[in-house]
Amino acid sequence: MDRIELGNVTVTRVREYFGPVDIAPETFFPDVPKEVWDKSSPWLAPHFLDSGATTVNSAIQTWLLRSEGRNILVDTGVGNHKERPYSPVWSHLDTGFLANLSRAGVEPEDVDLVINTHLHVDHVGWNTRLDGRNWIPTFPNATYLMPKDDFDFWNPENGHTPLLGRGNQNVFEDSVAPVHRAGRTLLWEGSHRIDANLRLDAAPGHTPGSSVLTLDRGPDRAVFVGDLLHSPVQILAPDHNSCFCEDPAAARATRRRLLGWAADHNALVFPAHLGGHGAAEVTRDADKFAIKGWAPFTPYTEQR
């Protein structure tokens, strides 16, 4: 488990899963030429790509932030015991995520805020847990911050046809709606100030309601970008989308804007799914970006 201090905020990585997601890189990123993967595979493997450059490796992880006395979770992974008929890699998992969270010093009852950057299958799963035959909020005392545009888009009652197709089947029903029925959600639009350190902003493209969390106070800055980046290759080539981006043009524009802000403000970039060091320092030269280095995490050993 890794931890980093950024000004007044402590960031701890809580892992759920790391490994292959059964998608070839040329399928995951359909407009990235194969020669790019062949050239990049020596430095992408093993954290972002398997050694044979045949499948993408991905980390499913939650960022635990401690800010102004509150425990805040950024995204909640896949969850256990979920029925995912069209996403078999995420179906009926039985991971030790809550034990890992406990090792970071936080029990479910201690969580004050849950942030879902968007409402895809691998970002909302631990919103709920199975209690008998019912899905109930995993974090009973937390307020769940969800982008209203994504809430409306993924609500089956609204009849949208997402690019992900059936890949998100059951997700709204078992991981979003139960929290909303319990009165634990806050649906926000545009921008939402959490505290003096943290702010949520709309960042559409990957999904209609995709959002980013910015830590911007004092000399240490960071931006948690969710799925605007799935691979470090997208830092070097920000016009390359994943196959899951609902609005490709908006995703490209948002990615370039946020990478530019991070480079100009010396801010760490925290994508949702990067293994290894998990966060990158970015530099720019006009409209081109490069990876300067990786987040200097330190092992987290504190016990309750």
Closest to 75 measured CA to CA, from 218, 227, 209, 192 = 227
Per-residue confidence (pLDDT) for residue 300, from 0 to 100: 57
For residue 163, the model assigns a pLDDT of 75
Q: In whole angstroms, what is the distance from residue 63 CA to residue 69 CA? A: 16
What is the widest separation between alpha-carbon atoms in the chain?
Answer: 56
pLDDT at 302: 46
Find all residues with CB under 8 Å of 234, minimum gap 6, and list them.
Answer: 29, 228, 240, 255
- For 189, other C-beta atoms within 10 Å of its C-beta total 10
Is the separation of the CB atoms in 149 and 180 below 8 Å?
Answer: no
Q: What pTM, to 2 d.p., does this model score?
A: 0.95
pLDDT > 70 in the chain, percent = 97
Residue type, 229: L
* pLDDT of res. 304: 35
pLDDT tens column, 20-67: 998 999 999 998 888 888 888 888 989 998 877 788 999 999 999 999
* Residue where the block lists tokens 């896949």: 78
pLDDT at residue 75, rounded to an integer: 98
Low-confidence ranges of the chain (pLDDT < 50): 302-304
Q: Which residue has the tokens 């969710």?
A: 226
User: Which pLDDT score is estimated for 303?
Assistant: 38
Which one, of 233, 53, 93, lies nearest residue 175 by Cα?
A: 93
